[in-house]
Structure 1
Amino acid sequence: MNLITNRITQELEPDPIPDPNETSGQLWARHEAIQTDAASLFGQTFFFSCVDVCLGLCLAWANDGARLEALSKSLERQNVKARLDMFSKHVATKFPAGSKRRTALDRWIERAHAAREQRNLMVLGRWVVEARRHKIVNVLGLPSGSPQSTAYTIAELRAFNEELGALEQELARLCTHWPV
């Protein structure tokens, strides 16, 4: 992200009220700034794969790696949802309900499912910049049907990426202290 794009986005993002005196050149500059920032941030959502890899390693090494080879092969064919479901089963088996460990791991699983669902919607939709509203909009469905849309600010996309990073760090910490 270049300095001008960053400056324009930071200056314009907090004020979502359209300016009736805004010129088309100013609107176009904001459109370009939002699109550039959003593209960069959207690209970073693909680093959800780091969470996926960390989760896969935690699962492969379940029970001190007793079934490392078999689990590794099995996990290669699973999507993130299946891995999260498998992780949830391991957690439920290993830690008693209501325990500090189980609560922390269940909370992480819930957050990871929410992030996975949001990331999937982001990937499946198409993106439209609404410069007057200072938003980027994710649209699901065909224009001829009943499309559904979700509008994001640059700050919201940034926060989503921060959540992905936090999920990765938290899983590494949890699995280090309480391996499944």
Structure 2
Amino acid sequence: MSAWTGIEIREERDKLEREVAALLGFMLFEYARLDMALGMALAWADGGRDLKSRSEQFAGANLYSKLAAFAKAAQAKFKRNPQIKEAFLGLIDDAHRAREFRNILVHGRWGFEATEQTAVCVTGLPTSVGQREIRYTISDLQGMLESVRSVRQRLHKLIADKWL
């Protein structure tokens, strides 16, 4: 393999950055959809009897708080049906993992290694011992996008089939 020229590295870096940016953007869309679906499920948790109050309660809640409230509601609603309860709780665990990655991707600083075809996400201050570097390939990020999309789709199905 021949050495990369400076122009080739710059062009490849720009291409990699565009691909990563598109994937991260699609992930943000999916997170927003997931967040909204959780909020709506919580607002309608009592069949819509207290829709206004519950809507106000969850309108400004963050994803972590919504997931915690949803877990509590699912445990109560399905306490006599452990199989359905476990399906909801498993989904909530997966949503928490997606939320944790969202926090990393939103709060991290991104760089690109064109010759290695990796995006590098760095969290923490450069002067802190807690600084962390994570490398992702396009394939890794596509998998993460599919994962959060799957969580959202599973949530929609469970809500439609069991929640409402």
Report the Cα distance in structure 2 between the residues aligned to 1:93 and 1:32, rounded to whole angstroms: 50
| Worse-superposed segment, 36-45 or 120-129 | 36-45
Unaligned stretches of 5+ residues in structure 1: 1-18
Measured in 2, the distance between the counterparts of 1:126 and 1:65 equals 42
Contact 1:108 1:167 in 2 (8 A): yes
- Aligned to 2:120, the other structure's residue is in SS state strand
Question: Which residue, 71, 77, 92 being the options, matches 1:88?
Answer: 71
RMSD over aligned CA atoms reads 1.6
Name the SS for the 1:127 alignment partner. strand
How many matched pairs? Answer: 162
Q: TM-score, normalised by structure 2?
A: 0.92
Q: For 1:75-134, what per-residue CA distance to the aligned partner results, in whole angstroms no more than 9, with x for missing partners?
A: 012111000000000011111377221111111000000000110111001100011221
Unaligned runs of 5+ in 2: none
Percent identity between matched residues is 30
Q: Which residue of 1 aligns with 2:15?
A: 33
Aligned to 1:175: 159
Structure 1: how far apart are the matches of 2:82 and 2:156? 19
Instruction: Give how far 1:22 is off.
Output: 2.5
Give, in angstroms, the shift of residue 44 of structure 1. 1.6
**Aligned pair partner of 2:55 in 72, 76, 81:** 72
Kindly indicate whether residue 60 of structure 2 is the aligned counterpart of residue 51 of structure 1. no
Query: Any residues of structure 2 matched to 1:139-154 within 5 Å, and which?
Result: 139-146=122-129, 147-154=131-138
Tell me the equivalent position of 1:119: 102
**Greater mean alpha carbon deviation, residues 154-163 or residues 81-90:** 154-163
Aligned partners of 1:135 and 1:153 also within 8 Å: yes
Deviation of residue 142 (structure 1)?
A: 2.1
The 2-side partners of 1:123 and 1:82 are apart by 18
Match of 1:10 in 2: none
CA distance in 2, matches of 1:97, 1:122: 38
Amino acid across the alignment from 1:172: H
CA contact (8 A) 1:97 1:103 kept: no
| Secondary structure of the corresponding residue to residue 96 of structure 1 | coil
In structure 1, distance between residues paired with 2:74 and 2:124: 37
Correspondence for 2:141: 157
Please tell me whether residue 23 in structure 1 is matched to residue 5 in structure 2: yes
1:145 aligned counterpart, secondary structure: coil
